[in-house]
Amino acid sequence: MIQYKQNFNKLEEFLSSSLQCHQVLHIALDENKIDDEGVKLLSSALANYTNLLNLTLNLRFNKITAISISCLCSALVNCTNLSNLTLDLSFIQICDEGALSLGIALANCTNLSNLTIDLGFNNIGAIGAQGLGSAFANRTNLSNLTLYLIQNQIGEIGVSGLCSALTNCTNLSNLTLDLCYNKIGVLGVSSLGSALANFTNLSNLTLDLRGNQIGDEGASVLGSSLAYCTNISNLILNLSYNQIGAIGALGLVSPLVNYINLTNLKLQLIYSQIDAIGLQDLGSVLANCINLQKLKLYLNYNQIDSIGASGLGSALANCNSLSNLIIDLSYNQIGDQGGLDFCSFLAKYTNLSNLKLNISKNEINKQQQLKIKSKCLKSKRLVVFKINF
């Protein structure tokens, strides 16, 4: 069967299209000043595309309410053959009502294997998050899920309902979940952890939980759940702005020692409370990730001194497979000695080819900066190098 593909950037173009046999549709109407009436027209036309397999629809930054979103959801119900769906409905204030409608509609799209939804900045509360969860009931075919809920108001009750439904997605291999700035707290993280424990087939995981008041306890709870996801090869964790200290950081990363497939790690703990002991513990765990090839560490705005910086440099020397390294230690207190000690160990990174290091705002004088740079350049295989003081 021929797969027709069409891209539309204007609503009028899509409405005038007569090829309802399209199987692949890309409709980008972001910032098009579309109102409820426009979405109703779009929905009426879309309902006729019953052969759709792949749909990408971008309506972000339009003047749309939950009423028209309900019409859009009714159209999606007719697209029963969809296997790939990307929806960007961010910045349009669909609120709880819109999220509820969307959850019901997606529950009828039973053939979905790849799903991406962006509902950021939509004033969605606990009721809406729980309603959205109905989309994931009996969702055993779903292998790739990306869900952005940044800056809503779902709270611990909302995330509990959502994650309870997500536990049905047992065959997920790729998961991206953005819940930052939603005040989910420790209880919310616990609910998320219960869902993650079921995703034993995950190979790629991205979690953004910035600004959720989870603290050390929440970070440790999340780490306990990650212990079940031992097949992960690519991991991105952003828990910045959560008042996480040494205990929480250690609890979060401890399971990584059993991640024998882990090759890429990005860890962001910006504006936390990690000190020298916390950084040394973090380094000790990373030292056991023997297959790690790419590492990105963002630890700016913490309480790291020269001892912590030296301990991290020493620990990472054990990551013999490491080829790409990005570290941000800016706005700490590592000083001249910490910078020198850390970079002295770089010569032992035998496979390092790409290095980006930010140690600005650490009270390192100009003379020591030259010595630190010289230490870095002793890494024999270094091809790409950048340092900020």
Per residue in 190-202, pLDDT (tens digit) is 999 999 999 999 9
How large is the average pLDDT for residues 93-114?
95
Per DSSP, helices labelled H in the chain are: 11-15, 36-46, 66-77, 95-107, 126-132, 155-166, 185-196, 215-226, 246-253, 276-286, 306-316, 335-344, 366-376
How large is the average pLDDT for residues 327-344?
97
pLDDT at 4: 53
pLDDT at 20: 72
How large is the average pLDDT for residues 347-352?
91
* pLDDT reading at 348 higher than 60: yes
As given in the structure block, the two tokens for residue 43 are 């929905």
Rounded-to-integer distance, Cα 197 and Cα 294, Å:
25
Q: Please state, rounded to an integer, the average pLDDT across all residues of the chain.
A: 95
Where does the pLDDT of residue 76 fall: very low under 50, low under 70, confident under 90, or very high at 90 and above? very high
Residues β-bridged to residue 355: 325, 385
pLDDT at 305: 97
pLDDT at 1: 46
Between CA 214 and CA 167, with CA 135 as vertex, the angle to 5 degrees is: 50
How large is the average pLDDT for residues 145-156?
98
pLDDT at 2: 52
Closest CA to 201 of 232, 241, 161: 232
* pLDDT reading at 340 higher than 60: yes
- The secondary structure of 357-382 as a DSSP string is EE--SS---HHHHHHHHHHHTT-TT-
pLDDT at 21: 74
pLDDT at 5: 52
Find out whether 156 and 130 touch, Cβ atoms under 8 Å: no
Q: CA dist 91 to 36, 120, 122, Å?
A: 14, 6, 6
Find out whether 137 and 166 touch, Cβ atoms under 8 Å: no
How large is the average pLDDT for residues 97-112?
95
Q: 38: burial class by Cβ within 10 Å (0-12, 13-18, 19+)?
A: buried
Q: Which residue has the tokens 């079940």?
A: 228
* pLDDT reading at 9 higher than 70: yes
pLDDT digits (tens, 9 = 90+) for 230-274: 999 999 999 999 999 999 999 999 999 999 999 999 999 999 999
As given in the structure block, the two tokens for residue 367 are 């003379």
Half-sphere exposure of 15 (CA within 13 A, CB side): 11
| Domains of the chain: residue spans and CATH | 5-388 (3.80.10.10)
pLDDT at 271: 98
* pLDDT reading at 330 higher than 90: yes
Half-sphere exposure of 259 (CA within 13 A, CB side): 29
Find out whether 215 and 248 touch, Cβ atoms under 8 Å: yes
- Phi then psi dihedrals of residue 334, to 5 deg: -80, -25
pLDDT at 347: 82
